[in-house]
């Protein structure tokens, strides 16, 4: 899926401009008598201004990204499925075949990305909810297209309803109700901007959600209110629909004794469990002064007398440090460019779930590189070795260091709390991209190094959930920590996460070093 990398989406936006131009050619070469109206009709949906307004950084705003994914899926996806329809055109005219061929060329040139699926759209919608929840965004502003101080196109009623349906599919009724109520409130502030059918749809969805949350008497109440408020403006058809719903929900309420109609809404268990992690992501948790008063910055010596690194010690047990100015802008530019076309969906590593993608858990794309792939990679591996004192040897086998992973996060991209160690010997159940031969006798991941290749405008911190530390990405720096104790035991205080990216495109290079204990 495309939404797992912001930078991939930026490339896709370039393809869209080319798609528009071949569509325009198709429009010029055909007319109403060619029997291709099914495609020509899309002319009205395509807003050239929207396509041309995409400039640098556009996709770094999740609302923009959502609008874009929606357009790619519904409009371009619609055109593509018309073109791919085998029985629709018995004698396809030449311009149609040309159009089809040109789109395929664009697709091929840009890495086969132009098919944006309904799954992409659903993930983008859920990303908006995740960001709202994690960063406690103001929902009214969010619906109006505003995140922090960035204003963009508002979410349409359709889009909010779509987001609500995604919540519904996952049984997140509490959140769905909050969203629907906010939407209803927005709409009532300027009723003239909406149709009575829109009001009816929102009210009926809200009623149905209340019923699913086992409060059908609330469904009755709010629909009755909708009838009285909208009395003059509702069409007969919509009134009928609402009346029918009222009868239905009254029946449902009938089964529930009056005394038991005091249920109130409460947040979903799944969200309650995440509250402290989310507070860390916002930087809202204060650490114990006993711990923080012992934290210092040092010039960390290396084997080279003239090379010292600015180290900010963020925690002692286990040691977690930020290292400043350890990669140059030139190296960063090279590596991003080098990695972009090789990015693939990130998998969740480990012996148990190894090699699987899980979009509830991790939303990013990764490219893996041997150090020898280019001198720049070898150079940064050597630098890490110099600074940490850990061996980064890859050959001869076994590895002391894994391949370098270049990573770019997606829309609302994150990596939920986890440990980097495997906990069991890696050669037991190796999974791609791990190859058994390289890891036999390597041991387990004992330390993690992560370069930040970008600043992140908002969100995207690396947080340690046990020691309660929040590390905000700073371009050119790196965070370094130990996952295994000196005695070789796994250190469960190393649990950490990459928080959802709110605004920006987060890039990193990750590297893991092996002990020989297991």
Ligand X SMILES: O=C(O)CCC(=O)C(=O)O
Using CA atoms, how far apart are residues 394 and 381, in angstroms rounded to an integer?
10
Using CA atoms, how far apart are residues 439 and 431, in angstroms rounded to an integer?
11
Of the candidates 135, 183, 153, 166, the one whose C-alpha atom is nearest the C-alpha of residue 68 is 153
Residue number, 216 or 350, with CB nearest to ligand X? 350
Using CA atoms, how far apart are residues 386 and 301, in angstroms rounded to an integer?
10
Q: Which residue's Cβ lies closest to ligand X?
A: 498
Residue number, 209 or 364, with CB nearest to ligand X? 364
Question: Contact at 8 Å (CB) between 294 and 285?
Answer: no
Residue number, 398 or 498, with CB nearest to ligand X? 498
216, 398, 500, 508: which one contacts ligand X (CB under 6 A)?
Answer: 508
Count of residues engaged in binding ligand X, rule: CB under 6 A? 7
Using CA atoms, how far apart are residues 16 and 68, in angstroms rounded to an integer?
10
Measured on CA atoms in the order 380, 382, 385, 390, is the torsion positive or negative? positive
Residue number, 62 or 498, with CB nearest to ligand X? 498
Q: x/- string (CB under 6 A) for ligand X, residues 408-437?
A: -------x----x-----------------
Residue 496 sits in the site that holds ligand X (CB under 6 A): yes
Choose among ligand X, Fe ion, none what residue 399 binds, the Cβ cut-off being 5 to 8 Å by kind. Answer: none
Considering the complex, what minimum distance in angstroms separates the CB of residue 517 from ligand X?
20
Q: Cα 215 to the chain's mean position, in Å?
A: 32
The first and second tokens of residue 138, run together, are: 């103001």
Contacts of 390 (CB under 8 A, 6+ apart): 384, 400, 401, 446, 447, 513
Residue 459 sits in the site that holds ligand X (CB under 6 A): no
Considering the complex, what minimum distance in angstroms separates the CB of residue 494 from ligand X?
10
Residue 350 sits in the site that holds ligand X (CB under 6 A): no
Residue 420 sits in the site that holds Fe ion (CB under 5 A): yes
Helix (H, G, I), strand (E, B) or coil at 100: helix
Choose among Fe ion, ligand X, none what residue 462 binds, the Cβ cut-off being 5 to 8 Å by kind. Answer: ligand X
Residue number, 176 or 446, with CB nearest to ligand X? 446
Residue number, 200 or 462, with CB nearest to ligand X? 462
Residue 498 sits in the site that holds ligand X (CB under 6 A): yes
462, 465, 476, 477: which one contacts ligand X (CB under 6 A)?
Answer: 462
Q: 317-344 burial, b for 16+ CB within 10 Å, e for fewer? A: ebebbbbeebbeeebbeebbebbbeebe
- Interface residues with ligand X (CB under 6 A)? 415, 420, 462, 496, 498, 508, 510
- Interface residues with Fe ion (CB under 5 A)? 420
């Amino acid at each position: 899926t495309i939404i797992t990398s912001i930078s991939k989406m930026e490339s896709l936006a370039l393809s869209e401009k080319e798609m528009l131009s071949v569509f325009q050619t198709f429009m010029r070469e055909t007319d109403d008598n060619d029997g291709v109206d099914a495609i020509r009709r899309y002319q009205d949906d395509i807003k050239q201004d929207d396509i041309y307004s995409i400039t640098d950084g556009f996709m770094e705003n999740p609302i923009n990204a959502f609008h874009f994914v929606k357009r790619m899926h519904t409009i371009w996806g619609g055109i593509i499925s018309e073109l791919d329809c085998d029985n629709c055109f018995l004698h396809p005219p030449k311009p149609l075949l040309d159009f089809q061929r040109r789109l395929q060329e664009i697709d091929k040139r840009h890495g086969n990305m132009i098919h944006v699926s309904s799954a992409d759209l659903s993930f983008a919608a859920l990303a908006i909810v995740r960001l709202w929840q994690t960063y406690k965004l103001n929902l009214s502003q969010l619906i109006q297209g505003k995140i922090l101080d960035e204003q963009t196109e508002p979410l349409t009623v359709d889009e909010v309803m779509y987001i609500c349906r995604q919540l519904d599919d996952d049984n997140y009724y509490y959140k769905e109700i909050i969203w629907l109520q906010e939407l209803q409130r927005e709409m009532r502030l300027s009723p003239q901007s909406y149709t009575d059918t829109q009001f009816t749809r929102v009210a009926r969805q809200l009623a149905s959600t209340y019923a699913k949350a086992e409060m059908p008497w609330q469904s009755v109440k709010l629909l009755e209110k909708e009838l009285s408020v909208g009395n003059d403006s509702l069409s007969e058809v919509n009134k009928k629909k609402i009346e029918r719903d009222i009868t239905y929900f009254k029946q449902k309420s009938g089964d529930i004794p009056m005394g038991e109609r005091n249920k109130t809404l409460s947040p979903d268990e799944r969200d309650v469990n995440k509250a402290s992690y989310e507070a860390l992501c916002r930087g809202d948790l204060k650490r114990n002064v006993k711990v923080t008063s012992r934290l210092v910055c040092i010039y960390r010596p290396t084997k080279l007398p003239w090379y010292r690194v600015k180290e900010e010690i963020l925690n002692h047990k286990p040691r977690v440090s930020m290292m400043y100015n350890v990669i140059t802008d030139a190296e960063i530019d090279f590596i991003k460019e080098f990695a972009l076309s090789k990015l693939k969906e990130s998998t969740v590593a480990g012996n148990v779930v190894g090699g699987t993608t899980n979009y509830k858990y991790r939303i990013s794309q990764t490219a893996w590189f041997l150090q020898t792939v280019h001198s720049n990679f070898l150079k940064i591996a050597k630098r890490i070795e110099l600074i940490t004192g850990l061996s980064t040897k890859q050959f001869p086998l076994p590895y002391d260091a894994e391949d370098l992973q270049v990573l770019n996060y997606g829309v609302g991209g994150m990596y939920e709390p986890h440990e980097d160690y495997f906990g069991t010997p890696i050669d037991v159940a190796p999974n791609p991209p791990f190859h058994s031969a390289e890891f036999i006798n390597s041991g387990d991941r004992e330390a993690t190094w992560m370069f930040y290749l970008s600043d992140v405008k908002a969100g995207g911190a690396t947080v340690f959930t046990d020691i309660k530390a929040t590390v905000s990405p700073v371009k050119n720096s790196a965070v370094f920590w130990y996952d295994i104790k000196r005695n070789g035991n796994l250190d469960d205080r190393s649990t950490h996460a990459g928080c959802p990216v709110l605004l920006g495109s987060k890039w990193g290079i990750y590297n893991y070093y092996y002990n020989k204990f297991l």
